[in-house]
Structures are given as structure tokens and as C-alpha cells.
């Protein structure tokens, strides 16, 4: 199950990035489960990573290699079918050995390779299978490999996620292309979601990190499928410099806003794609909170609603059980909340106000509002000017089935 259009848009090459997708047979024979990305010399790369204390071995190694390479790695390697998480010292060694295998074939240093993994937690990484597939991956590198890579990084996903954005600034053309995977264990807390975004702009490292951090704050950190933060979450942003522009070195340059907007557009599309492809999802739900004292309290209310199993099961049943929404708002931890001032809407239908059901509301209106696959839950707190939105799904029978059978 998934919500909305499942067609992957045309993904534009980014000069300076080549990709290949091959089969290593990690979980099943013949499935393309290994992606290699080659970054042109002088490309700059930054990342945001999971804040889960049990972060996976590849996260630890990728962060280390990012520092050792001065944020200028030459390769990214991504495997599916095995998360290499909860694997202790051996997992660290296995991640490093995968990097060394790439380095040997590509004639570079192991510290120039960033590893990423996704899949089952707690199982040893089949390093030999991965190493055996690397020569084919290196031989198959091509700048047109984005669509295959979007397929190759999937796990329980039912569809690939990707987007390209072109824009111009001061007469110079630029491109931003990104792909991501994730359908379950999705409540990224950046810093089993992986995202890769690249641009041909030349950007100084600190500015590149600022652009990525701002984009993830407004995209990947605003989604939740099941409230679980993966051990392996990571998103990287690469700037190859192939556009040969004047180096973007501060936020006052015109290119900063143009590039930041393009990167955020890509990240928001990818983040919403994760939700639309959430495990067992039949609804795409926007939880919009207005009139808060500050953004954080708006987010607190939004995520309390989005994480409620009672709300999510009502969404699956298309049941306008608005009492569950009021209960979630009330337990979100807002100090001195005046419930008589709160307004609750399903799409544009006023459900509750003045602490109780709205006089104008009818059950038929609620049923109609809950029927579409795209739903907006809107809460008007009426206690300030702040606003925030998050995106989530319903909980279906299929979500339980997928996760009950995940390791089989």
C-alpha cells in the first residue's frame, strides 16, 4: 500500500557524480542491493546522522571518514538487506573492510569512502559478498545512474523516491538531484531513512552544512510513520563544484538563498515521499498547528497527534473520532493551555471549539472529511503567532503484517 502517484520523475545527472547499482546477493540472490557513488575530485560533502544512541557501525565509520577526508570523500557505498547495527566491534571492522574493498578497486584510500547500510539489525554484514560485487559496481559507474540507485537503496519501500530541481542565479544554471529510502522505523531525528542529495554548485563546507541542516529541519525532521528513530538514519549533501561558479562562502551571496530553496524543495519532496510510502499506509496526513506561543510547542502538539496509535487507527478506519484528537492535544504538555480557545478542523470542517463539539458539526461532515487519502488535521491554539506542520500516516493491518514478518 502507498498513497498517491508512484511514478519516479526524471532524475537529472549532476556533473561530478557517477553511480552504479549491482547485485551482491546480501538478502536474496539477483536483487540489486548495492549502490556505489563516485564523487569528482574536490567535491565537498556534509551529512546529518541519526541521534539514536545505538547508532549503526556504518554511521560511526562514515562520520569518522568524513572528518579524515576533510569533507571531501571520493566514494559512497550503500548496501541494503543488512543494517550492520548492534554488531559491536566486528560491525565497525566490517564497515571499514567494505571501505577498504572499494579503495582497493578504485585505487584510493579507505578513508575516502563513506559506508551506509540499511536492513535487518543484529546480523553480521556479509563483507565477502559486498567485496565481490565492487568491481562490477566500479565498472558500471555512470552519471545517469540516479534512477537505478533510487531502486537499489530500497528495503520495505514499495516505490523509489527522487526529485531533480533546476534553477538559475546570476545567469548561471544549476541542478540539485536527490534520492531517499524509508518506509518504516521512520521518525528521523537528524541529527531506516537514507538520503543522498547532490548539486553541481561550488560551496564552502560550513555553508553546505548550514544548507543541509536547515533543509532537514524542515523536511526529514518533520515526518513520522511510526515514531521509531532508526539506528542508521543519514542524509548527505554533495557539492561537486562542476558548475564552476564563484565559491559560495557566505549566506549573503544571492546563490545561497537560491540553492538553499532548491535543496529544501528536494528534501521536502523526499520526506513526504517517505510518508506516502509508509509501511501499510493508506492515508497521507498533514498535521498543521497554528497560533502557538513558539514553534516548539506547535511541534509538540503535532507530533503528539501524529504518534498516537488511537488517532492513526481512526485514520485508517476513516472514523472521525475527534475525541482522540482532543485527548492528544491535551496531553502534549503545553503549559496553561486554555482548551476553550482551541479550534480543531478535519480538512476545512470545524469539529470542535469552546472545549466541545462545534455546534455546526455533523457526523456526516466528519465521515466525508476522513474519506480522502490526503487529510489535513488543523489545530488552532489561539495563543500566539507560531506555526508548524508535520506529515504522517495511518496505521493499517498491513503495517502490523509487514513488521511481524520482517525477518522472515
Do 254 and 399 lie in one domain? The reply is no
Same domain, 208 and 232: yes
Residues 121 and 245 in one domain: yes
Let me know if residue 257 belongs to a domain: yes
Regarding whether 62 and 131 lie in a shared domain, the answer is yes
Query: Is residue 227 domain-shared with residue 300, that is, in the same domain?
Result: no
Burial class (CB in 10 A: 0-12, 13-18, 19+), 83: buried
- H-only helix segments in 153-230: 205-217
- Nearest residue to 275 via CA among 397, 190, 388, 193: 193
Is 6 among the domain residues?
no
| Percent above pLDDT 90 for the chain | 81
Which listed residue (155, 192, 216, 240) is catalytic? 192
Q: Quick one: 270 and 309 in the same domain? A: no
Residue 2 in any domain: the answer is no
Question: How do residues 130-178 score in pLDDT, each as one tens digit?
Answer: 999 999 999 999 999 999 999 999 987 778 999 999 999 999 999 999 9
Strand blocks (E) in 280-373: 284-292, 343-346, 349-353, 356-357
pTM: 0.91
Residue 392 annotated to the active site? no
353 Cβ contact list (under 8 Å, min separation 6):
342, 343, 344
Regarding whether 354 and 268 lie in a shared domain, the answer is no
Total count of domains within the chain: 2
C-alpha cell at 242: 562542476
CATH number of the domain where residue 352 is located: 3.10.20.340
Q: State how far the Cα of 313 lies from the Cα of 319, in Å rounded to an integer.
A: 9
3 state SS of 382:
coil
| Residue whose grid cell is 534553477 | 167
Residue 382 has a CB neighbour count (10 Å cut-off) of 14
Q: Answer yes or no: is 113 within a domain.
A: yes
pLDDT in tens, the chain (408 residues): 577 777 899 999 999 999 999 999 998 888 999 999 999 999 999 999 987 888 899 999 999 999 999 999 999 999 999 999 999 999 999 999 999 999 999 999 999 999 999 988 899 999 999 999 999 999 999 999 999 999 999 987 778 999 999 999 999 999 999 999 975 444 545 434 899 999 999 999 999 999 999 999 999 889 887 555 557 789 999 999 999 999 999 999 999 999 999 999 999 999 999 888 877 788 999 999 999 999 999 999 999 999 999 999 999 999 999 999 999 999 999 999 999 999 999 999 999 999 999 999 999 999 999 999 999 999 999 999 999 999 999 888 877 776 677 665
pLDDT (tens digit per residue) in 262-293: 999 999 999 999 888 877 788 999 999 999 99
Same domain, residue pair 290 and 386: yes
Average pLDDT for the chain: 92
| Cell 475527534, located at residue | 322
Length in residues, the chain: 408
| Model pLDDT, residue 408 | 59
Q: Is residue 115 part of a domain?
A: yes
Q: State phi, psi for 178 to the nearest 5 degrees.
A: -145, 150
d(CA 284, CA 286): 7
What the block records as the C-alpha cell of 379 is 489545530
What are the pLDDT digits (tens) for 81-91? 999 999 999 99
What is the span of the domain harbouring residue 343?
284-404
- Same domain as 153, residue 49: yes
pLDDT at 227: 56
Phi/psi at 14 (nearest 5 deg)? -115, 115
- Asked if residue 92 belongs to a domain, the reply is yes
Question: Do 217 and 305 have their domain in common?
Answer: no
Matching residue, cell 564563484: 246
How much is the pLDDT for 359?
96
34 and 162 assigned to the same domain: yes
**Beta strand extents in 84-150 (DSSP E only):** 113-120
Amino acid at each position: 500500500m502507498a498513497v498517491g502517484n508512484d511514478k519516479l520523475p526524471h532524475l537529472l545527472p549532476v556533473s561530478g557524480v557517477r553511480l552504479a547499482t549491482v547485485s551482491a546477493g546480501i538478502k536474496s540472490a539477483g536483487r540489486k542491493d548495492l549502490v556505489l557513488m563516485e564523487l569528482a575530485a574536490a567535491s565537498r560533502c556534509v551529512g546529518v546522522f541519526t541521534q539514536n544512541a545505538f547508532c549503526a557501525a556504518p554511521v560511526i565509520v562514515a562520520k569518522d571518514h568524513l572528518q579524515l577526508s576533510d569533507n571531501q570523500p571520493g566514494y559512497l557505498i550503500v548496501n541494503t538487506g543488512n543494517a550492520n547495527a548492534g554488531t559491536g566491534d566486528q560491525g565497525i571492522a566490517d564497515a571499514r573492510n567494505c571501505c577498504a574493498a572499494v579503495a582497493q578497486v578504485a585505487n584510493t584510500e579507505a578513508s575516502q569512502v563513506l559506508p551506509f547500510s540499511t536492513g535487518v539489525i543484529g546480523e553480521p554484514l556479509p563483507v565477502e559478498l559486498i567485496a565481490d560485487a565492487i568491481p562490477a559496481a566500479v565498472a558500471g559507474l555512470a552519471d545517469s545512474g540516479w534512477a537505478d540507485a533510487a531502486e537499489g537503496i530500497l528495503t520495505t519501500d514499495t516505490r523509489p523516491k527522487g526529485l531533480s530541481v533546476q534553477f538559475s542565479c546570476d545567469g548561471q544554471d544549476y541542478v540539485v538531484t536527490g534520492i531517499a529510502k524509508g518506509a518504516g522505523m521512520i521518525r528521523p531525528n537528524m541529527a531506516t531513512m537514507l538520503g543522498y542529495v547532490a548539486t553541481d554548485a561550488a560551496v564552502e563546507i560550513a555553508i553546505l552544512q548550514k544548507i543541509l541542516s536547515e533543509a532537514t529541519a524542515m523536511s526529514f525532521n518533520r515526518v513520522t510513520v511510526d515514531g521509531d528513530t532508526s539506528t542508521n538514519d543519514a542524509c548527505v549533501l554533495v557539492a561537486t563544484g562542476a558548475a564552476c561558479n564563484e565559491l559560495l562562502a557566505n549566506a549573503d551571496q544571492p546563490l545561497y538563498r537560491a540553492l538553499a530553496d532548491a535543496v529544501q524543495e528536494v528534501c521536502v519532496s523526499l520526506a513526504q515521499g517517505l510518508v506516502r510510502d509508509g509501511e501499510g499506509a493508506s492515508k497521507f496526513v498533514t498535521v498543521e498547528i497554528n497560533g502557538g506561543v513558539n514553534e516548539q510547542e506547535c511541534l509538540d502538539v503535532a507530533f503528539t497527534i501524529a504518534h498516537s496509535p488511537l488517532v492513526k487507527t481512526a485514520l485508517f478506519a476513516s472514523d472521525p473520532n475527534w475525541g482522540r484528537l482532543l485527548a492528544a492535544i491535551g496531553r502534549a504538555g503545553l503549559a496553561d493551555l486554555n482548551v476553550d480557545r482551541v479550534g480543531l478542523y478535519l480538512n476545512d470542517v470545524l469539529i470542535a471549539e469552546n472545549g466541545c463539539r462545534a455546534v455546526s458539526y455533523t457526523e456526516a461532515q466528519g465521515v466525508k472529511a476522513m474519506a480522502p487519502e490526503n487529510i489535513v488535521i488543523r489545530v488552532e491554539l489561539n495563543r500566539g503567532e507560531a506555526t508548524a506542520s508535520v506529515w504522517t500516516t495511518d496505521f493499517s493491518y498491513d503495517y502490523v503484517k509487514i513488521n511481524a514478518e520482517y525477518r522472515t
